[in-house]
Amino acid sequence: MNQPLAILQKYWGHTSFRPLQAEIIAAVLQQKDTLALLPTGGGKSVCFQIPALMMDGICIVISPLVSLIQDQVATLKANGIKAIALTGGLKNEEISNLLDNCMYGDYKFLYISPERIQQEIIQERIKQMSVNLIAIDEAHCISQWGNDFRPAYRNIHTLRELLPNVPCIALTATATSKVVKDISDNLHLKDVQHFQQSFGRENLAYTVLETENKILTIEKTVRKYPQSCIVYVRNRKNTVKVHEALQRKGFTSLYFHGGLSSEEKKRALQSWLQGKVQTIVATNAFGMGIDKPDVKNVIHIQLPDSLENYYQEAGRAGRNGEYANAIILTDKNDGKQLQQQFIHNLPEVDFLKLVFRKLCSFFQVAYGEGYNTKHALPFHEFCKTYQFPTQKTFAALQLLDRHSILQLSQNFHRKTIIKFILDQYNLMNYLDKHPNLSLITQAILRTYGGVFEQKININTTYLAQKLGLPKVKINETIQQLAKDEVLQLEELQTDAEITFLVSREDDKTIHPIAKDVVHQNELKKKRIKAVIDYVQNTEVCKNTQLLSYFGETAKKPCGICSVCKTQKETSPDSELQLLIRDDVLKILKTNSMTSTEICETLPYREQLILAIIQLLLEAEKIKLTENNTYTL
């Protein structure tokens, strides 16, 4: 394996492979179909990138997320490796040029989404390419039993039919045995070489802490472990809330969510990666494809929506092999809130049909039309117009996106749409009288053709950069032109944008996906139950519970999770238990206190203190007052 190791060192700077990487690479080089299950941080991408670099031709990589594609392509380019990404928003001419580059430009990697595989132009060009490998990233998306099922992934076998003699490698971090079989069957893998690393992480302490004050618990954790930390929250509002709470206490922190601009995301990520801030507070939009080995804590302050997602997010801690914490903070309401958000808001088939019809009405799309049309969607206005519940409606839009009925992108920006209503002769006369408006107006005319014939969406940020002027100056000029009736101006504040991927046929549009929707809703309910069971089970080692979920048997309890620690520390003969008990009784001699106040006062783990309080209650050593305080 000298040659693969030399390539690893040349492009990635590593002198040795991680577990199973060398064996997987060897199987691919032997032209074997391969299925690789490696945990988060196990280095999946290297397993197809190195053999692809060693073989003549180009590797086609299927990946579900644009952000993940962009990250990997940027990394390859930074390492001097030629790679191309076919993401959304490209015109046919641009796609054609990029595919020509793949054929004649000595490129080694072509990254595409599963939806693009069905395009005729791409299929025709792929047949003409010298393809050395097909790599399927996040392969669990193929399986109807898998988390984040993507129906378009079921059509990847089209590539195998186009390229019957090209080996295929499927990679994922999380898959049950049923998902593994579904992946293999759907991809038509032959004589498949199956590699699976244990889901166990010996250095990772899985912890579930019941707490009445989650922010305080986060503060205690990041103070105790001053290394790098990720705090996962469920919505954008909470990223800011937790970030500001940490800053008020003197901790360095940033927040990250899907509504930030690309530049804002890049700045936040780089500051955290470079260790300039300790903690990044993020939604689950953060972390995919990011490899920071020294993360000490991954903290979830709301319950994850599946154990698959939790395992991946938690696994971003301790990739350097050192002790690390994966912590879920929970309270008595979290289980109900999880069901409320993800079960009660599951869109049924009839609701999907209704949302699709109303979308078409909202944008005045006629029956049989709408294909490939793009629309700015003021989401809350849409929901208010038709009295739709916001969470359930957003879930419906995501489901329609997943099933390729429409494409949903969250933009959160102001759209500026203009059309000149003065003819060119009168416009020139106007500019002669208003020379201060001439530079920006001429730039608009040179940049955007057709502004006299139709409404055009213009990019004011781009114009400002092009002219070296403040963006506010561009906006002021456009406002003045509109006031003087030189042009028509529409400014739309949009928080989402949709593109219809099919023509309007109302209920007929939804019928083909109805069976899958019902099936996925049932699976979602089972996954939510599995999360709640995991959090509430205080008898079985947390590592054992996770391994069992993924079909693996633990040899022994891990000894470091919250269950193992609590069992050890609250055993009847535990010195620590006696110490905490004495301290609780001592501080309650002078004042009655809430459990939060007791936890803030004593220097022990909150979970241990709460367990001792419960034991003292049962032994009638203390009692709970009507004011929810404890007293002797």
How far, in whole angstroms, is CA 457 from its chain's centroid? 29
pLDDT of residue 208: 95
> Which position has the token pair 């380019």?
77
pLDDT of residue 1: 44
How far, in whole angstroms, is CA 604 from its chain's centroid? 35
The stretch 224-245 carries a mean pLDDT of 92
pLDDT of residue 415: 72
H/E stretch holding 577: helix 575-587
| pLDDT digits 0-9 by tens, 1-15 | 459 999 999 998 888
CB-CB neighbours of 302 under 10 Å: 19
The stretch 351-364 carries a mean pLDDT of 95
Query: Is the pTM above the cut of 0.85?
Result: no
CB-CB neighbours of 237 under 10 Å: 10
Q: For residues 26 and 193, what is the distance between their CA atoms, to the nearest angstrom?
A: 11
Q: For residues 592 and 299, what is the distance between their CA atoms, to the nearest angstrom?
A: 31
pLDDT confidence bin for 576, thresholds 50/70/90: confident
| pLDDT digits 0-9 by tens, 393-416 | 999 998 999 888 998 876 555 678
| pLDDT digits 0-9 by tens, 420-461 | 999 888 999 999 999 999 999 999 998 887 888 888 888 887
How far, in whole angstroms, is CA 202 from its chain's centroid? 26
CB-CB neighbours of 273 under 10 Å: 14
Percent of the chain exceeding pLDDT 90 equals 46
When comparing pLDDT for 412 and 329, which is higher? 329
Residue 284 tokens, joined: 């689950």
467 near 447, Cβ under 8 Å? no
Q: For residues 537 and 531, what is the distance between their CA atoms, to the nearest angstrom?
A: 10
pLDDT of residue 457: 83
pLDDT of residue 88: 66
Arithmetic mean of pLDDT over the chain: 88
